[in-house]
Amino acid sequence: MERLRGKRAIVTGAGSGIGRAIVLRLAEEGARVVISDVDEEAATNVASEAGGETLIRKTDVADSSEVEALVGTAVEEWGGLDIMVNNAGIGVAGTTTNTSEEDYERVMDVCLRGTFFGMKHAIPAIRDSGGGSVINLSSVAALVGIADRAVYSAAKGAILAITRAAAIDHVEEGVRVNCIAPGTVDTPWIGRITAGYDDPEEARRNMQARQPHGRFVAPEEIAAMAAYLASDESASVIGACMVVDGGVTAR
Ligand SMILES: NC(=O)c1ccc[n+]([C@@H]2O[C@H](COP(=O)([O-])OP(=O)(O)OC[C@H]3O[C@@H](n4cnc5c(N)ncnc54)[C@H](O)[C@@H]3O)[C@@H](O)[C@H]2O)c1
């Protein structure tokens, strides 16, 4: 499928996991992609895997001026922007009582401020390019209570709320804003969680057994949803939260 031929895209946090898979899928479908990550080496590795035309930009999404420059890259190099994927995010384990203020700031900075800056700078560029699609990464943590993820859940819930608000604000400008709520996706992130257990392999098996469909969601399954939301096939999907979770929230 080449639904995105001629489209110009940016993916943040694109050096790993879900972001990497989204880059590969958008490029496979014909888009030109700016691969951005705070980890430049990781972004460079993804660029070497992706076919088609790509650019690499080191960007910390928590810094408004860096995100503005990132959007400027697509506009200067390719004459505009059609797709913005606000994917960069970090998590922290903890409840409301035992999470430190520093961890609160860190998670909110990357997840929420990063998504806000991504929309703030990309939406005018997409509007001026004739319209397009913004895709934010929320989480099932925005939809159901998940133990030991209080601040992360708050950030992802806020991303869902700002997605809906922005969708209404910008629909008449031809900018569609949606989010994806993944369940537990098999990325390096999961490796960092299971590494904290005595038997990481057993922890991995237990996490998979808790999924109604008995396995982790694959990053490629999130990328398939992102490609759909980026394409004109989803023209009437506006302000939606697309759940890709193997049935977790159906329980
Ligand atoms: N893996 C899951 O189970 C899961 C579930 C729901 C939602 N998500 C969301 O999907 C997104 C991607 O998660 P993942 O599992 O691929 O994570 P990951 O840790 O594999 O990749 C995250 C990437 O973001 C980059 N990054 C971190 N801080 C950044 C910053 N300040 N600026 C720019 N880039 C930064 C990292 O360098 C890394 O390359 C996140 O927003 C996460 O909350 C993941």
- What is the DSSP-derived secondary structure letter of residue 218? P
Q: What is the pLDDT of residue 158?
A: 99
Fold (CATH) for 8-182+219-243:
Rossmann fold (3.40.50)
- 121 Cβ partners below 8 Å, 6+ apart? 64, 67, 68, 70, 71
Residue 118 CB less than 6 A away from ligand 1 = no
Ligand 1 atom at minimal distance to the Cα of residue 88: 24
Ligand 1 atom at minimal distance to the Cα of residue 219: 16
Residue 16 CB less than 6 A away from ligand 1 = yes
Domains of the chain, residue spans: 8-182+219-243, 184-216
Q: What is the pLDDT of residue 115?
A: 99
Residue at 53: amino acid letter: E
Q: Give me the sheet containing 32-37, strands edge to edge.
A: 54-58, 32-37, 8-11, 83-86, 132-137, 175-182, 241-244
Contact (Cβ atoms closer than 8 angstroms) between residue 112 and residue 89: no
Q: What is the pLDDT of residue 1?
A: 77
**Cα(242)–Cα(229) distance, rounded to whole angstroms?**
9
Q: What is the pLDDT of residue 14?
A: 98
**Cα(36)–Cα(246) distance, rounded to whole angstroms?**
28
Backbone φ and ψ for 36, nearest 5 degrees, come out as -120, 140
Contact (Cβ atoms closer than 8 angstroms) between residue 46 and residue 35: yes
Contact (Cβ atoms closer than 8 angstroms) between residue 51 and residue 32: no
Q: What is the pLDDT of residue 122?
A: 99
- 29 Cβ partners below 8 Å, 6+ apart? 1, 2, 3, 4, 5, 227, 230, 231
**Cα(125)–Cα(175) distance, rounded to whole angstroms?**
10
Residue 129 CB less than 6 A away from ligand 1 = no
Mutate to test the pocket of ligand 1, among 159, 185, 204, 225 (most ligand atoms within 8 A of CB): 185
Residue among 20, 187, 135, 127 at smallest CA distance from 33? 20
Q: Measuring CA to CA, how many Å separate 196 from each of 82, 190, 218, 219? A: 40, 10, 22, 22
For the chain of 251 residues, list the mean pLDDT of each consecutive stretch of 10: 95 98 98 98 98 96 98 98 98 97 98 99 98 98 97 98 99 99 95 90 92 96 98 98 97 90
**Cα(107)–Cα(89) distance, rounded to whole angstroms?**
8
Set 104, 152, 197, 228: catalytic member? 152
- 51 Cβ partners below 8 Å, 6+ apart? 27, 28
Contact (Cβ atoms closer than 8 angstroms) between residue 182 and residue 18: yes
Residue in the block written with tokens 């691969």: 35
Q: What is the pLDDT of residue 196?
A: 86
Q: What is the pLDDT of residue 7?
A: 98
Is 104 considered catalytic here?
no
From atom 13 of ligand 1, which residue's Cα is the shortest distance away?
18
Q: What is the pLDDT of residue 51?
A: 84
Q: What is the pLDDT of residue 25?
A: 98
Q: What is the pLDDT of residue 90?
A: 97
Tell me if the pTM is above 0.95.
Answer: yes
